[in-house]
Structure 1
Amino acid sequence: MKVLVTGAAGQLGRDVAERFAASGHEIVAASRQDLDISQRGQVLGVVGAVQPDTVVNCAAYTAVDACETDAERAYGVNAWAVRHLAEATRRFGGHLCHVSTDYVFSGEKAEPYHEWDRPDPRSVYGASKRAGEQEAGHDATVVRTSWLCGRHGTNMVGTVLRLAAEGGSLRFVSDQRGSPSFTPDVATVIERLCVDRRPGLYHVTNQGEASWYEFAREVMVAAGLDPERVEPITTAELVPPRAAPRPANSVLENRALALADIARPGDYRAPLARLVSELIN
């Protein structure tokens, strides 16, 4: 296939492009500098020129707290831009795969969220990403993922290793739970969904769940460091407090992948160990 990856300079976008390229697909990797997806003319021009079989949209405005005071930009990138991508892929005969987030849920459910649970975002970021899912259309593949970590960009694993190197104790919240997910594993499933051209919504995360506190301890263990240096705090104790509310529970069940008989990404601890090894060696 010929694959256009938007947001290709980002954490997930780079691994998505690498995954497709490793399988022999022709890749056109577009960073924000190459393509501003919020501009309809640019999107129609690039998609028309490239004529991709698949467009994988990894571009997003992910500054969760900044979204609270810049809703126009959040909706412009996370929703309005998806409308342009959906229009362009339909016009030129391609298939759209759009990446979304666990923030579309309120976090009040006691059990993991599956694909048929009702979204109820509590932040501007979550609401704008939910709007993007709706703009993608019923023919698109929508992939929700969460707590992404990879070799590229800023993420929890790199943050913990940096803080650990500075010495002293580390404090992470123990009252927010999620599904730590690793970009190479998510990219592999995205490739499968796009090759099959499967429409609909899929939760794609590594298996297992943790609080940020528990996850930080796992990072320390993987790095051969003392996990007792990590201390639990509550969200209310964060200084400064965060502008955007976070879901207390954003664990995602991969129910649609199981029903489709598509292999789900494995337990998060194995790719965590690999990533830590890559970052410290």
Structure 2
Amino acid sequence: MASFLRSWLIVAVLSAGASGCATRGKDLVTLHYAWPEPATMQVDHTVDVRTDWSDRTTAERRFTMTLGPVDDAGQRRLSFHDVEILESKVPIFVEPLATGIIDAQGDFQGIDPLEDTPALAFLDALPLSARKKAQMTRGMAVGLEQAIRNTWNQWVGSWHGSRYKPGKQEVLSSTMQVGTGRKERKEVPSEERQRLDVGVPCSDAEPEPRCARLQVVREPVGQSDRTPGTYARVELELVMDPTTLLPYSSRVIRMDRVDWNGQGGEPDFHESVHVEQYTFVHGLMPTAGPMAAVSPRQPMPTSPK
């Protein structure tokens, strides 16, 4: 079954990789958080899921994202406007986006109360008791906060202040979750390999080689996709301005091999690959307004961007 993972990984990496040649510097490069304030950008967000037990699933949405201005407490709001659902075969794409709170150092601090946003409007239409509605609101808030925290850390929070020698791979000890059944997971020791290349184009629209590409791979210690048994692998590629950590693209590929018969007996292995991509266009004028869903337009390309 490992051939499924390898073939899909090759397609995903070749179709989503940044172009241009990286340059290697002799000195350490420190990644700084210094987004302009306020910052506004258009974001394209795509998800592409392939498994060996079901049809391929894709989704795409586009929204305007703003950060700032700074409030009296020194906090910045990361907010989302005019969300267009272009394709929504992934249920999470129709969920609301909470407003995040970011401090001056680029660390995530939480979200605004959901009661102050249109995110809970659909609950008002349901015949729920006040207690049940409050319970669902709390559960939704926890999920939305964790989602935006993870996304922000993927773009900024995990990397600001980090130092790298360009072109050199750094190996760190970590942990990760590996599936042990249809719904069961366990935490296992893992190896995280990080590499920063500098002097790469920011994007096709901005080909000047002033950006950096951070590549991170995490997998269980001593394992690869050729190793028998359960397996997981996570890859991140982040293209950003190293002087500000302003992102231009971010892609995460998650691969899993799970034994559906995890309770014992003959193993029944199944594999999946989940590709999530964000592409950022900077310098747009902010467009205030509620999130909006529109009818799907053209489907996503057959290979992830």
TM-score normalised to structure 1 length: 0.22
Higher relative contact order (CA 8 A, sep 6+): 2
TM-score normalised to structure 2 length: 0.21
Whichever of the two has the greater Rg, that structure is 2
